[in-house]
């Protein structure tokens, strides 16, 4: 599969296409996010193994969202079942999904471990949590902000290395090691577009926060505001996952084909 180089402005195009796809089938994407969130919460109850299962399943989940977006573009309805479709199709690369999930767990664990070393440290965060009066006070704490900064800085390269791997594994039938290499090269060669893409989503997240604050000021019932905030947050998250398809197919010359 031959790499394509795209201009920096393509990052905004990816964002816009993601928003438009989610707008076309908002209920469908909200259903996907609801299923994903519910499943993750149930698994997180399991000590140790739960968080690992959630993290290891993420590459396959990304693939599920890409399949969902392609269906939207062809006028088909999407259902939550599309999230497990990458492992259900007759010739699914099940061994590769396990390998990719294990590699993602290892990479994220390494990034988080380094973040703990260079960041404020677990004890400092525990002290900050104990002293905080509420969530806003906790997030405003410089130690917490420093911890979040280091985790973002160290996990971002991991995300870019793994970005294209699900599609390369499923649609390109490329071994995991080669898929990781091609994904890293594609992300690096199109780094300006991904930077614009990331800044664009940062702007969307900022706008979302302003909208939620405005709703809180207009609606005197906190429970209603919280429900609306959750729905809006899930919709924006769904739009982000919808945009993954466009970032992947634009970075390679041949459009991804169904397996």
What tens digit of pLDDT does each residue of 233-244 get?
A: 999 999 999 999
What tens digit of pLDDT does each residue of 245-254 get?
A: 999 999 987 6
- 45: in domain: yes
- 5: in domain: no
What tens digit of pLDDT does each residue of 207-230 get?
A: 998 888 888 888 888 888 888 888
What tens digit of pLDDT does each residue of 63-114 get?
A: 999 999 999 999 999 998 999 999 888 788 889 999 999 999 999 999 988 9
Q: What is the mean pLDDT of residues 37-54?
A: 91
- 183: in domain: yes
What tens digit of pLDDT does each residue of 119-167 get?
A: 777 667 677 666 666 555 555 667 777 777 888 889 999 999 999 999 9
- 172: in domain: yes
190: pLDDT strictly greater than 70: yes
Q: What is the pLDDT of residue 160?
A: 94
The pLDDT mean for the chain works out to 88
259: pLDDT strictly greater than 60: no
Domain span at 220: 10-248
- 4: in domain: no
Please tell me whether the overall predicted TM-score, pTM, comes out greater than 0.85 for this model.
yes
Q: What is the mean pLDDT of residues 45-72?
A: 94
- The domain total for the chain is 1
Q: What is the pLDDT of residue 90?
A: 73
Q: What is the pLDDT of residue 125?
A: 67
- 259: in domain: no
- 168: in domain: yes
- 255: in domain: no
Q: What is the pLDDT of residue 149?
A: 83
258: pLDDT strictly greater than 50: no
DSSP string, the chain: --B----TTHHHHHHHHHHHHHHHTHHHHHHHHHHHHHHHHHHHTSTTHHHHHHHHHHHHHHHHHHHHHHHHHTT----GGGGGHHHHSTT--HHHHHHHHHHHHHHHHHHHHHHHHHSS-HHHHHHHHHH-SSHHHHHH-HHHHHHHHHHHHHHHHHHHHHTTHHHHHHTS---HHHHHHHHHHHHHHTHHHHHHHHHHHHHHHHHHHHHHHHHHHH---HHHHHHHHHHHHHHHHHHHHHHHHHHHHHTBSSPP---
């Amino acid at each position: 599969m031959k790499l394509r180089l795209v201009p920096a402005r393509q990052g905004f195009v990816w964002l816009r296409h993601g928003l438009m796809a989610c707008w076309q089938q908002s209920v469908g994407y909200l259903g996907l996010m609801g299923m994903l969130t519910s499943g993750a919460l149930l698994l997180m109850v399991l000590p140790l193994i739960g968080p690992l299962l959630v993290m290891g399943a993420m590459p396959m989940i990304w693939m599920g969202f890409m399949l969902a977006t392609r269906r939207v573009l062809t006028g088909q309805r999407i259902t939550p079942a599309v999230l497990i479709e990458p492992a259900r199709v007759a010739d699914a690369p099940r061994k590769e999904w396990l390998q990719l999930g294990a590699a993602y767990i290892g990479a994220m664990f390494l990034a988080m471990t380094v973040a703990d070393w260079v960041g404020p440290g677990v004890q400092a965060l525990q002290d900050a949590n104990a002293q905080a009066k509420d969530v806003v006070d906790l997030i405003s704490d410089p130690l917490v902000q420093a911890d979040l900064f280091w985790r973002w800085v160290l996990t971002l390269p991991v995300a870019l290395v793994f970005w294209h791997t699900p599609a390369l594994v499923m649609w390109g039938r490329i071994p995991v090691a080669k898929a990781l290499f091609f994904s890293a090269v594609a992300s690096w060669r199109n780094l300006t577009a991904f930077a614009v893409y990331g800044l664009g989503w940062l702007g969307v997240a900022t706008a979302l926060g302003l909208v939620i604050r405005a709703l809180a000021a207009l609606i005197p019932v906190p429970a209603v505001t919280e429900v609306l905030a959750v729905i809006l947050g899930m919709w924006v998250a769904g739009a982000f996952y919808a945009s993954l398809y466009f970032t992947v197919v634009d970075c390679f010359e041949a459009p991804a084909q169904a397996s």
